[in-house]
Structure 1
Amino acid sequence: MIKRTRHGARWDEESDEELRRRFAAGELLPEVARAMNRSQEAVRTRANVLHVPVRSSTRRRSNGGAGPQP
């Protein structure tokens, strides 16, 4: 188990901006959490509060095979 040193730490403007920047750059949730030394749950929750879209995996979404017709 990984001990998070920032457990219970408050989010500040600088941390919020780092979170926004990292997700905008295309980083995945586990990468952002590790870099910010916070749990994935903490990062996902804060991103939701800030209305920042979160990518948790590289899996591509399927459109059900309904692509453009030639």
Structure 2
Amino acid sequence: MDKLQRVEERLSHLERMVEDLSEVIARQDGELRRMARRVGMLMEREADREAAEGNTIPLADQRPPHW
């Protein structure tokens, strides 16, 4: 096996690894976007619940007591 062939094989393996990692990143990006939407919805729901209870400032907007 000559040096050029070894380099070509290594390049082929590296290209496959890059494709695999790209797929993983794309999946994780979609999952993070879904999770961010869900967290946003939960925060809105909690703010609505707090407003319905008569709290003047939603808990998420209140300053911590140590400030």
Higher relative contact order (CA 8 A, sep 6+): 1
Fold conserved between structures, TM > 0.5: no
- Decide which structure has greater helix share: 2
Q: TM-score, normalised by structure 2?
A: 0.31
TM-score scaled by length of structure 1: 0.30
